[in-house]
């Protein structure tokens, strides 16, 4: 099935349709890999304990509003998924996911040494860019879009505690970003806060943040709507 084409008239960036068979496959995969059945077909205590201990934990004030438990897109279901696939299941990252797709940078999220993804929310993009400017980035200025995304990628798959312990990281764009904080959250570059951190996906960590990084002009906010 072809993905929907992003057009200037569409302000919603569609996700991939969740096919019933895909959901069934994900559910089956989780059952087979997460429970560790005994010879009698029931989970052994040791396997169940190991699975519980290894269950991914995400941190931040926005996490309660995101898929959890047995919902499609919950942290355990996303563990091991390619980063570009995991992004499609996080409902606050539709703009970031569309930008990755439009820029052709999906492969950059699957680097051999891993990558840390600092993904701004849809609200962060709306505050940063006017609708016209965001459309222009997604549809016509691939070089600038790729540069913007590199401001949000760090080499190596790093947990939130790793970032805080380092104190600063260098993005793939070459920008040095300071990291401060602790207790399940961090502040990046003195302006962006993690709002749901530590999604573990294949070769990557995804940390959702509330501000767009980089030095592009701010045109969003109250006056940043579409030109008439």
149: Cβ–Cβ under 8 A, 6 or more apart, which residues? 99, 100, 103, 105, 108
Quote the tokens at residue 42: 């029931």
If asked whether residues 135 and 182 sit together in one domain, one would say yes
- 146: tokens are 């790729």
169 neighbors 163 (Cβ within 8 angstroms): yes
Q: Is residue 34 part of a domain?
A: yes
Is 65 part of any domain?
A: yes
Q: Tens of pLDDT along the chain (228 residues)?
A: 444 443 333 334 333 333 333 433 434 343 334 444 334 444 454 444 444 446 789 999 999 999 999 999 999 999 989 999 999 999 999 999 999 999 999 988 986 789 999 999 999 999 999 999 999 999 999 999 999 999 999 999 999 999 999 999 999 999 999 999 977 899 999 999 999 999 999 999 999 999 999 999 999 976 555 544
Do 32 and 89 lie in one domain? The reply is no
Contact 208, 186 (CB under 8 A): no
Tell me, yes or no, whether 173 lies in a domain: yes
Q: Indicate the pTM of the whole model.
A: 0.76
Q: How far apart are CA 156 and CA 113, in angstroms?
A: 6
Give me the number of domains the chain comprises. Answer: 2
The answer to whether residues 144 and 37 belong to one domain is: no
Residues 6+ apart with CB under 8 A from 160: 59, 184, 185, 186, 194, 197, 198, 205, 207
Same domain, 137 and 203: yes
Asked whether residue 66 falls in the same domain as residue 177, the answer is: yes
Last residue of a domain, one of 34, 54, 74: 54
Residues 6+ apart with CB under 8 A from 32: none
pLDDT, tens digit, 9 for 90 and up, residues 34-61: 444 334 444 454 444 444 446 789 999 9
Task: Let me know whether 48 and 137 are in one domain.
Answer: no
Q: What is the 3-state secondary structure (H, E, C) of the chain?
A: CCCCCCCCCCCCCCCCCCCHHHHHHHHHHHHHHHCCECCCCCECHHHHHHHHHHCCCCECCCHHHCCCCCCCCCHHHHCCCCHHHHHHCCCCCHHHHHHHHHHCCHHHHHCCCCEEEEEECHHHHHHHCCHHHHHHHHHCCHHHHHHHHHCCEEECCCCHHHHHHHCEEEECCCCEEEEEEECCEEEECCCEEEEEEEEEECCEEEEEECCCCCCCCCCCCCCCCCCC
- Could you tell me if residue 81 is inside a domain? yes
- 89 and 125 co-located in one domain: yes
Task: Write out the residue range of the structural domain in which residue 197 sits.
Answer: 56-209
Alpha carbon distances (Å) from 18 to 24, 121, 123, 164: 10, 21, 24, 36
Residues 20 and 73 in one domain: no
Instruction: Tell whether 49 and 60 lie within a shared domain.
Output: no
């Amino acid at each position: 099935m072809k993905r929907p084409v992003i057009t200037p008239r569409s302000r919603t960036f569609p996700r991939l349709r969740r096919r019933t068979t895909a959901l069934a496959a994900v559910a089956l995969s989780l059952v087979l890999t997460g429970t560790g059945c005994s010879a009698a077909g029931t989970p052994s205590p040791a396997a169940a304990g190991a699975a519980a201990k290894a269950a991914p934990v995400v941190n931040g004030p926005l996490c309660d509003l995101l898929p959890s438990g047995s919902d499609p897109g919950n942290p355990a279901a996303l563990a091991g998924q390619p980063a570009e696939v995991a992004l499609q299941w996080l409902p606050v990252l539709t703009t970031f996911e569309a930008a990755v797709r439009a820029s052709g940078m999906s492969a950059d999220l699957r680097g051999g040494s891993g990558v840390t993804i600092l993904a701004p929310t849809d609200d962060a993009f709306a505050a940063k860019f006017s609708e016209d400017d965001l459309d222009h980035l997604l549809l016509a200025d691939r070089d600038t879009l790729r540069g913007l995304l590199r401001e949000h990628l760090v080499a190596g798959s790093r947990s939130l505690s790793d970032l805080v312990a380092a104190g600063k990281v260098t993005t793939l764009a070459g920008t040095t970003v300071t990291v401060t904080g602790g207790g399940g959250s961090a502040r990046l570059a003195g302006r962006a806060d993690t709002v749901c951190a530590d999604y573990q996906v294949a070769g990557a960590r995804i940390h959702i943040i509330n501000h767009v990084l980089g030095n592009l002009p701010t045109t969003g906010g109250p006056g940043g709507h579409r030109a008439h």
